[in-house]
A and B are shown apart, each in its own frame.
Chain A
Amino acid sequence: MKMLKATIFVILLASVAGCNFLDYDESTDLKKEDVFSNFDRSKSFLTNIYSYLPSGFNSIDGAMRASASDNAEEIWELSNVQKFNDGSWSAIQTLDASWGQMYAGIRAVNQFLVEIEGQTFPERQYNNDYDQLMEQFELYPYEARFLRAYFYFELLKRYGSVPLVTDVLTPEDANNVQQASFNEVLRFIIDETDAVSQVLPVSYSSITNNETGRVTRGAAMALKARALLYAASALNNPGDDMQMWEEAALASKALIDSSWYTLEANYDNIVNNYTGTELILGRRLGNSNSFERSNFPIGFEGASPGTSPTQNLVNSYEMQSSGQGINEPGSGYNPNNPYEGRDPRLSSTVMYNGSTWKGTTLEIWNGGLHGPPQERATKTGYYLKKYVREDINLDPTNTTSKEHTWVLFRYGEVLLNYAEAINEVFGPENDGGMGMTARQAVNMIRARSDMPDFPGGLTKEEFREKLRNERRVELAFEDHRFWDIRRWKIGDQTTDIYGVKITKEVDDSFTYEQKLVEQRVFEDKMYRYPLPQSELFNNANLQQNSGW
């Protein structure tokens, strides 16, 4: 009996003290209903989806994808980008995390579309700006659908055939999805861009809050045009179906005809310029200096350079006066003064021996302040200039950071896309009834940089070659060359990577000697990415791309 009393005492003590003691939760996490029943949080969910837009600043393990093309070589030996070039790229060495990242963006879009359906945000109903909010809100599903189409294009250009997911998957679903064919994914992108083009605004400057940077009708049309150009190219159009080229040309032309965009007067202003007139869609970024750290020449304090533009790229810049390639007879090229009289885009894109950077003349000769044999000096004799902000300071005592904007679509590319597509169907000087010839389109680009027009009378093949060179030069370091090599199927022509060895002579003159820097491995299978091996393990329905 007394034991009983005592036991009751303990139980009483325990229950008084312990009742709600464990109902303690410090977490401040939101639940699904907290997010989607609230306007601001729904909006921020969409904002997060924008952050999945890729940028090309050091996107491959601290290096640029350009270093996996013949435009550049990465100085840092350990970067995974080297594995694109040395043959160790494989399904277990996938090098690029886009597969997971793009599907993460896609899931977010799928979830967003389901969850915001029918939301009216009654808590805001009596606010004065309710109508404006709802006006923005009406656009959100279309913005999200554009982003999803963009993410699918990123997958499509890598893998060719990928699962086309428009639902929110459970883990079990994810392990059982089927791949859609290249054409199914392409059609999805075309249909979606067509659909959102009907609704998205041309510009946000007339919409409340003036939230420029959001995706526009122009972005949707540019995505469609690029997707069709890729689909018409040799890799994806083995039969060279002219209808594909024509469809691509029309899609580009529609955007050219809109006259919403104009070329920047100055080539230097096309990058890192989120308000530019040429920019259709940019990947905006906040203040940082990491790209500068990895691209300022060695010898500048705080620099640990990575990207070395190749001699191959430098050689593709023509002579300004003649409009001829440096190896063409009579071009006016002087091998002892190789950077003189070149296409002005060279000095905007590349730092070479004798360039000026932050008031210093670069000494990239052997033994020079910015040259080999120092550790992390350029491997090719060049440093990257495009996208690198000269107004950033890396001195430890006065370090600064600045905004960067990565170009996703710009008007210049649309003109080049158009020229390429229409040349395939109608040749360089026949507008096929579209109102602009291929030569006219490319000459607009040339004129901006004070380069002479393409000569008349070129054959389709001659024009194609010259246009490919023009595209390489104009779009250098904007993450096009890597993909162009693939869609044109010219990988085997890009394996020998050259640089320049610069010697300072006794009389302070320089001799320039081209040297082979690297011989790369390129196999046919590399026209597509391998699906990550782990994905194949987890989902038996997936098929690996051929050769991997």
Chain B
Amino acid sequence: MNRIIYISQVCMLTLMGIYGSAMAQDSQIQGLVIDIDGNPVVGAKIHLVEDETIVSLSNRYGQFEIAGELGHHLKVENRGQVTEPIRISQNQMSVILPVQTNQISVGYGEYRSSNSLTGAVGFITGNDIPNNSVINPENTLYGKIPGLIALQNGGEPPTGATFNIRGVETFRNNQPLILVDGFERPLSSLSTDEIQNISVLKDAALLSMYGQRGANGVILVETKRGEADQLRVNASFETSITEPVGLPKFVQAPTYARAINEALLNDGLDPRYSNGDIDAFSNNSSPVLFPNVNWFDEVLRDQGTRQTFNISFDGGSSRARYYVLMNYSSDNGLFGPVNRNEDFSTQLKYGQFNFRSNLDIEVSESLALQINAAGNIVNRNTPSGGDGPNEIFNSLYRIPSAAFPVQTMDGSWGGSPLYGTNPVAMLTSTGYGSPNERELFLDSRLIKNLDNVTKGLSAELALSYNNFASYFEQQSKQYSYESVIPVRDQSGTVVDVERTVFGEDTELGFWSSFGNQRRSTDILGKIRYETLLENSELTAVALFHQSGMTLDGQNNTFRRNNFAGSLLYGYDQTYYVNVAVSYNGNNILPSNDRYGLFPAVSASWLISNEDFMADNSLFDLLKLRASWGVTGNDLIPNGNLHLQNYSGSSGYFFTDNNTFSGGTSESRLATADFTYETSYTTNLGVDIGLLENLFFTADLFYAKRKNILTNSGGRISNVLGVTAPLESNGVVENRGVEFDLEWRDTVSRDFAYYIGGQMTFTRNKILEMNEAFQPYDYLKETGRSVGQRFGLEAIGFFADQEDITSSPDQRFSQVRPGDIKYRDQNGDGIINEFDVVPVGYSSQYPELYFSASVGFNYKGIGVESLFQGTGNYTAYLNTPSVYWPLRNNNTLSEYYYENRWTSEGSADAIFPRLTTLNNENNNRPNDIWLVDRSYIKLRTLEVSYTLPVSFVQSLSMQRIKIYGRGMNLFSIDNIEIMDPEHLGTGYPTLRSYHLGLNIVF
């Protein structure tokens, strides 16, 4: 059902409203097309019923102008839907289409309606993002957009996600380009609340416009802008608790002592602890000499806390609109005893303040100006310097419960020169550090309507400046610790103790340093022309973009020029062809060969708009898409690889005073034919809408990337005498399929629900990587996926010496019963590096990435959930103490202890025998440590209540919502004791619970 609502009503309902300036000529009717969500409908075709030759298209704000008079009628056509004739009763009017029609940002300030989209673009609006409680918006994108593979890292704020788009297509830098409002800026610098929408460009159809930056895909982020012509305030508050995920349990002291003795016995060495010692550990009779410390309990508390405040204002007049945001998030970490110092806390604290001011000004009827200013200030507090938290966690994962007490008898810190650190002392007695960051983004854009030159012509000029700096302050001190060792008599009885103090207690010392900086400037000029012909439409864009980015350090400046153009031709709202090309260069490449040409062609066919589909009631939408094009990747090492350089190197000492003289040597040989990576991508897609409830999109793609820099060292004899050159000759192909399926139904005014799923499957293959010759085919990386893991195939544990003698000779270290027995792949009777085979998949990225979401809303009560998972993904379990225990004096996890091989029959042992030695036989890649890393995680579960509109309006408000939310609530996976996404010893990943309130008035 189509409706006309007059402007006044639109405003009252606070739907979006942007209107042309006051009255133009009498015969010009100005209007606005919006969809049921209030989003502007771009590219809708407006016909004057009285004169079919008069047609207009709505612009990116949904605005249109058409020659007509009061009393005439308009018909609006979009996505094959045609409205009933609408009577023109005012010079300004608004049309609401009863569908969702997102205007999709496709880069360089261009938008496409879903009709005219010919490429593969994933898209979410800001509405999908607030269901996440995260400080870093990168963490909102798990499982949200098909083709965008987002993997979680650690939990220390503001750790973000690792992205790749459609898997991996190079063994070099695979990072996608992230643009915020058109300029390269980190997504992590924003707050989630200021994001309007995110689109992901996945195929060459649109990526070729980005030339040498396009091949890894582009993530486009747009921030919110002023919408209403009256003030709207959106305020929210959220309070949260966080708790660590996947902290392993380590054995208690008596078990540790028994384990050490068992390990020493296994190695044929004398036991370290007597039975009396073990009893002393058990009964805690002498907690200094025989301690039993749970270091995790001593250092950590159960939960951390987090608060987020957000307030934004938007509104404006017909001449100027604004969106202003302030956001503050603070996180208090997981450390327990942080207040032992009177003057300062050693808690891990993170505070981020974000601000944004986006202004839209109509300078004149034909000149629009946008000015955006945004930034953030980050203040942090960490124990013992910048890397404090991770260092403390490394110690927690290392130091056995039996090593030494937290404090000795007189209150000194316990310790041992073997470990050098005491985790509690590291937390409380080393002072604190304050890493601070400041970031500023400024940009402005002038849009000149050149209708007076040619109808439909406009020009745009944009400038941007970005600056990031970090600095670091520290008040640090050192602590002394006391080592208490028992002195024993002949019988082993403890008769005395020997106390030695190591280290020194110092006063707090101030130290500060400059950390890092990043500066970038961009200039963008664009000319745009759009026109409507009889049954067809045409949009042409020509642009020039120049960008310069200076990162910290020498040879870290990247300058790029991009000349790009695109031409979209649509016929009858049914057939679309898009041609895009860019000519693009950078400063890294040889001056005579730094530009490349990147063409792409794409087309779509809206079958559902064909006449023969007119009577069909099944398909709301049936659309096929195809694209082919070329893109590049210039994320290659900077530093004149194509020139033969000489540089300072090792020197020597001469004269009777041993005076140092510097040396000079020939650097790595120059790379001939040094160039960017080139990707050739084909994409086929289908978009289907069924029964007004089902939405389905699927894409098939194939890409081949050439000119990847390879290291030729493996193919060149060392007799050469200098580092072999890099060569631009690597080739990787990547293919895959992705789909997005959603069923949405509004059953009644009170009840609506949705259920959806997404999946991306990619598989790549290295075709050329300059691999060193391998004596056996199974050793070759060429022909396999990037990051494919290799390892030995374990066939059990050696039962006894006889088993060892009768088996092939294992040449990694001396083998004893309980060590891993390997298969001799080449049958030469020796197990060595030539017996490794591919095991599992890549540990760099999952081949399969999927998500499922389900939610409903019943009378204001909403439930939303998102599950996300991976498959064909391999983990390498080499975490010290947890999987590789006791070596280097590390501790031992309960899980390992319970599942280890023992000499008394251990048919169900998972892990090899205990040993205190490094045991190179066991501790190397093999299929005991290379395991399935797949998981399914419940990323988000939210229960909310939105108060009834009538009640809220009686308070002169628009919305009040309260919610409870959980993030990362559980994971189903094969890795029993750790988070499959975080297998290191650093700060853990977090599970979190949130309570929030959101008010709009």
Residues of chain B with a CB closer than 8 A to A7's CB: 527, 542
B665 touches A29 (CB 8 A): no
One of B587, B664, B917 near A44 (C-beta < 8 A): B664
Bitwise, A280-291 to B at CB < 8 A (1) or not (0) is: 000011100000
- Contact of A100 (CB < 8 Å), options: B478, B718, B814: B718
Within 8 A of B (CB), among A275-321: 275, 284-286, 301
Contact for A104 among B269, B529, B654, B722, CB less than 8 A: B722
* Contact residues of A between 527 and 547, Cβ < 8 Å to B: 532, 534-535, 537-539
Q: A51-B652, A77-B917, A285-B653 are in contact. Are A14 and B664 (CB under 8 A)?
A: no
**B651 in the interface (beta carbon within 8 A):** yes
Nearest residue in B to A177 (C-beta to C-beta)?
A: B719
**Contact residues, B908-939 vs A (CB, 8 A):** 916-918, 920
Set of chain A residues within 8 Å of B667, measured between Cβ atoms: 29
Tell me the chain A residues, 151-182 only, with Cβ under 8 Å from chain B. 163, 165, 169, 171, 173-175, 177
Chain B positions within 8 Å of A99 at CB level: 718
Asked if A400 CB lies within 8 Å of chain B CBs, one says no
Q: Is the CB of A87 within 8 A of B811?
A: yes
Is B655 part of the binding interface, using a Cβ–Cβ cutoff of 8 Å?
A: yes
Q: Please, what's the 1-or-0 string for A5-32, where 1 marks a CB less than 8 Å from any CB in chain B?
A: 1110111011001100111111111111
Question: Inside 8 A of A50's CB, which chain B residues have their CB?
Answer: 652, 663
Do residues B557 and A532 form an inter-chain contact, with CB atoms below 8 A?
no
Q: Does A396 contact B (CB under 8 A)?
A: yes
| Contact among B453, B644, B651 for A51, CB-based, below 8 A | B651
- A10:B720 contact, CB within 8 angstroms: no
Residues of chain B having any CB pair with chain A under 8 Å: 269-270, 272, 417-418, 450, 453-454, 457, 459, 478, 488, 490, 502-504, 523, 525-527, 529, 542-544, 546, 548, 554-557, 559-561, 563, 585-587, 591, 594, 639-640, 643-656, 658, 660-667, 669, 712, 714-722, 724-725, 772-773, 775, 811-814, 832-834, 889, 916-918, 920
Contact at A44–B544, with CB atoms within 8 Å?
A: no
A165 to B719, CA, bound (A): 8
Residue of B nearest to A105 (CB): B721
Query: Bound state CA distance, A330 and B340, in angstroms?
Result: 70
| Closest residue on chain B to residue A87 by CB atoms | B811
A106 at the interface (CB under 8 A from B): yes
Asked if A28 and B654 make an inter-chain contact with CB atoms under 8 angstroms apart, the answer reads: no
- Chain A residue at minimal CB-CB distance from B595: A22
Establish whether residues B656 and A212, one from each chain, have CB atoms under 8 Å apart when the complex forms: yes
Instruction: Tell me the residues in window 259-275 of chain A with beta carbons closer than 8 Å to chain B beta carbons.
Output: 274-275
Shortest distance from the beta carbon of A174 to any chain B beta carbon, whole Å = 4
Inter-chain contact A10/B833, CB cutoff 8 Å: no
A301 touches B653 (CB 8 A): no
If the complex has contacts A31-B645, A177-B717, are A14 and B270 also in contact, measured as CB distance less than 8 A?
A: no
Residue on B with the closest CB to A214?
B654
Please measure, in the bound complex, the distance between the C-alpha atom of A22 and the C-alpha atom of B583, giving whole angstroms: 14
A145 → chain B, closest Cβ, in Å? 16
Set of chain A residues within 8 Å of B488, measured between Cβ atoms: 367
The reply to whether B525 and A48 contact each other, CB–CB distance below 8 Å, is no
In the complex, are the beta carbons of B647 and A373 less than 8 A apart? no
| Contact between A26 and B555, CB atoms less than 8 A apart | yes
Q: How far is the CB of B777 from chain A (nearest CB, A)?
A: 14
Q: State the Cβ distance, A512 to closest chain B Cβ, in Å.
A: 18
A residues in contact with B559, CB < 8 Å = 21-22, 24
Q: Which residues of B contact A211 (CB under 8 A)?
A: 654-655
A30–B647 CB distance below 8 A: yes
Give the CA-CA distance A241 to B462 in the complex, in Å: 86
Task: Determine if A213 and B653 form an interchain contact, defined as CB atoms under 8 angstroms apart.
Answer: yes
CA distance A41 to B655 in the complex (A): 19
20 interchain pairs (CB within 8 A)? A3-B529, A6-B450, A7-B527, A10-B542, A13-B525, A18-B546, A21-B546, A29-B646, A44-B664, A45-B664, A45-B665, A86-B813, A103-B721, A105-B721, A171-B712, A174-B718, A174-B719, A211-B654, A213-B658, A284-B652
For B488, the closest partner residue in chain A by CB is: A367
Which chain A residues numbered 42 to 67 have a C-beta less than 8 Å away from chain B? 43-45, 47-51
- Whether B655 and A213, one on each chain, are in contact in the complex, defined by CB atoms closer than 8 angstroms, is yes
Check A88 for interface membership: any CB of B closer than 8 A: yes
- Contact (Cβ within 8 A) A539 B651: no
Per-residue CB contact flags for chain A residues 386-425 toward chain B (1 = under 8 Å, else 0) read 0000000000110000010000000000000000000000
Chain B residue, CB-CB nearest to A52: B650
Q: Are A51 and B718 in contact (CB under 8 A)?
A: no
Residues of A within 8 A of B833 (CB): 92
**Neighbour of A14 across the interface among B457, B563, B661, CB < 8 A:** B563
Residues of B with C-beta under 8 A to A6:
450, 453, 457, 459, 527
Question: Would A534 and B656 count as touching, CB distance under 8 A?
Answer: no
Q: Is the CB of B719 within 8 A of A169?
A: yes
Cβ distance A125 to chain B, nearest Cβ, rounded Å:
22
Is there an interface contact between A2 and B454, defined as CB atoms closer than 8 Å? Answer: yes
Question: Which listed residue, B639, B661, B712, B720, touches A27 by the CB 8 Å rule?
Answer: B639
Q: Is the CB of B529 within 8 A of A27?
A: no
Taking CB atoms, residues of chain A closer than 8 Å to B658 are 213, 274, 284, 286, 403
Contact A535 B718 (CB under 8 A): yes
Task: Assess the B523–A17 pair: CB atoms within 8 A.
Answer: yes
Residue in contact with B585 in the complex, picked from A5, A22, A41, CB distance below 8 Å: A22
Given A213-B654, A506-B490, 13 additional A-B pairs, CB 8 A: A10-B527, A14-B561, A29-B645, A48-B651, A48-B665, A49-B663, A90-B811, A103-B721, A104-B721, A107-B720, A286-B653, A534-B718, A535-B717
Asked whether, in the complex, the Cβ of A532 is within 8 Å of the Cβ of B718, the reply is yes
Q: How far is the CB of B549 from chain A (nearest CB, A)?
A: 11
B715, A538: Cβ atoms under 8 Å?
Answer: yes
Query: Smallest Cβ distance from A209 to chain B, in angstroms?
Result: 7
Residues on B with C-beta less than 8 A from A100 are: 718, 721
B772 touches A23 (CB 8 A): no
Chain A 183-223 per-residue mask, 1 if CB under 8 angstroms from chain B, else 0 = 00000000000000000000001000111111000000000
Enumerate chain A residues within 8 angstroms of B554, measured Cβ to Cβ.
26-28
Q: Is A111 interfacial (CB 8 A cutoff)?
A: yes
Whether A284 contacts B719 in the complex (CB less than 8 A), given A17-B523, A26-B557, A301-B417, comes out as no
Contact between chains at B814 and A86 (CB < 8 Å): yes
Residues of A within 8 A of B812 (CB): 88
B503, B560, B654, B920 — which one has the most chain A CB atoms within 10 A of its CB?
B654
CA distance A34 to B666 in the complex (A): 12
Assess the A13–B544 pair: CB atoms within 8 A.
yes
B211 to chain A, nearest CB (A): 13
In the assembled complex, the Cα of A41 lies from the Cα of B647 at a distance in Å of 10
Determine the chain A residues whose CB is within 8 A of the CB of B585 once the complex forms: 22
Q: How far is the CA of A93 from the CA of B526 in the complex (A)?
A: 60
A108 touches B (CB below 8 Å): yes
| Residues of chain B within 8 A of A28, CB atoms compared | 554
Contact A210 B655 (CB under 8 A): yes
Complex alpha-carbon distance, A173 and B664, angstroms: 24
Q: CB-CB < 8 A to A27: which residues of B?
A: 554-555, 639-640, 645
Binary interface encoding of chain A residues 84-102 relative to chain B, with 1 for a CB under 8 A from any of its CBs, else 0: 0011101011000001100
Closest chain B residue to A535, Cβ basis: B717
Residues B651 and A301 in contact, CB atoms below 8 Å apart: no
Contacts of B664 in A (CB 8 A): 30, 35, 41, 44-45, 47-48
CA distance A87 to B831 in the complex (A): 13
For A369, give the chain B residue with the smallest CB separation: B498
A274 closest partner in B (C-beta) = B658
Given A6-B450, A41-B664, A88-B811, does the pair A25, B587 have CB atoms closer than 8 Å?
yes
Q: Which residues of B contact A107 (CB under 8 A)?
A: 666, 720-722
Q: Does A375 contact B (CB under 8 A)?
A: yes
Q: Which 10 residue pairs are nearest across A and B when measured between Cβ atoms? A: A107-B721, A48-B663, A29-B645, A174-B720, A51-B650, A14-B544, A537-B773, A100-B718, A50-B652, A284-B653
Asked, given contacts A18-B561, A29-B667, A169-B720, whether A10 binds B525 with beta carbons under 8 Å apart, the answer is: yes
- CB neighbours (8 Å) of B647 from chain A are 29-30
- The one of A18, A174, A284, A286 that contacts B544, using a Cβ cutoff of 8 Å: A18
Known contacts A27-B639, A210-B655, A212-B654, A175 near B716 by CB under 8 Å = yes
